[in-house]
Amino acid sequence: MSTFTKTHRNRVKRHPERGAYDHETVYKILDEALICHVGFAVDNQPFVIPTIHARRGDTLLLHGASTSRLLKHIEAGNPLCVAVTLLDGLVVARSIFNNSMNYRSIVLFGTGHLLDDPEEKYAALHALTERVLPGRWDDARLPNRKELKATSIIAMPIETASAKIRVGPPKDEPEDYALEFWAGIVPITQTFHAPQNDPKLKDNTPVPKYLQGYKRHS
């Protein structure tokens, strides 16, 4: 099993028992999440931007958050940090101190570069679209030259990464288990509801099969 090397950047310091470094665990979380949060800094001022992402092997693809600030940052060869967090539950412990959440989170580190080649950009848009809406690329009006030109795509080879995962019931202090307070978890899921037609939809256009029962694969 291939793993990311632990460095000062990606090592899970707090609750190290929740850390994981293998590609499979990290990429499963990355692939399930709809969005990520991209962090970068300009003159020591940090910025965090939510955006969609796709993965091609060990490279992260980003688009749609291409503020001139982020582009400038990337063109200067500065590093990025990308965080993805999936919330799975509220963990209600007998003691306030041991309250927690169940979650699957990852953090990725690398340096991005802009894709210039139109064919590469086109392929990246395909990947970004199909990751969010599998099946849609072949059932939509595809990007034209002008749109492709207006789109910025960032490719970030993933240099290092780690996952941090908490599952299961609360962990209370041994002596607190004698207390009478309720304890347990409130599970959380992201729910995708039945598609709603655009009010301007042409009559009788059915909801495509690939959008029925939409869900993210974990």
User: Which parts of 16-55 interact with its own copies (CB under 8 A)?
Assistant: 34-35, 37-41, 44-50, 52
How far is the CA of 179 from the CAs of 54, 172, 174, 176, in angstroms? 47, 10, 10, 5
**Residue of 2, 5, 13, 57 that binds its own copies (CB under 8 A):** 13
Q: How far is the CB of 85 from its own copies (least distance, A)?
A: 4
**Span interacting with its own copies, options 16-24, 53-61, 113-121, 137-145, rule CB under 8 A:** 137-145
Nearer to its own copies, 193 or 217 (CB): 193
Q: Find out whether 14 and 28 touch, Cβ atoms under 8 Å.
A: no
Q: Does 2 bind its own copies (CB under 8 A)?
A: no
Name which of 128, 130, 132, 134 is nearest 115 in CA terms: 128
Q: Give the 3-state secondary structure of residue 33.
A: coil
Nearer to its own copies, 22 or 176 (CB): 176
Nearer to its own copies, 23 or 92 (CB): 92
Residues 81-120 contacting its own copies, CB under 8 A: 81-83, 85, 87, 90, 92-97, 99, 101, 103, 105, 107
60 C-beta neighbours (distance < 10 Å), count: 23
Q: Does 134 bind its own copies (CB under 8 A)?
A: no
H or E element at residue 37: strand 35-42
Nearer to its own copies, 2 or 167 (CB): 167
What is the spatial order of strands in the sheet that 100-111 belongs to?
A: 19-20, 160-166, 100-111, 79-92, 35-42, 45-56, 59-63, 153-157, 113-114
Q: Does 201 bind its own copies (CB under 8 A)?
A: yes
Nearer to its own copies, 99 or 218 (CB): 99
**Span interacting with its own copies, options 22-30, 54-62, 128-136, 154-162, rule CB under 8 A:** 128-136
List 63's β-bridge partners, or say none: 153
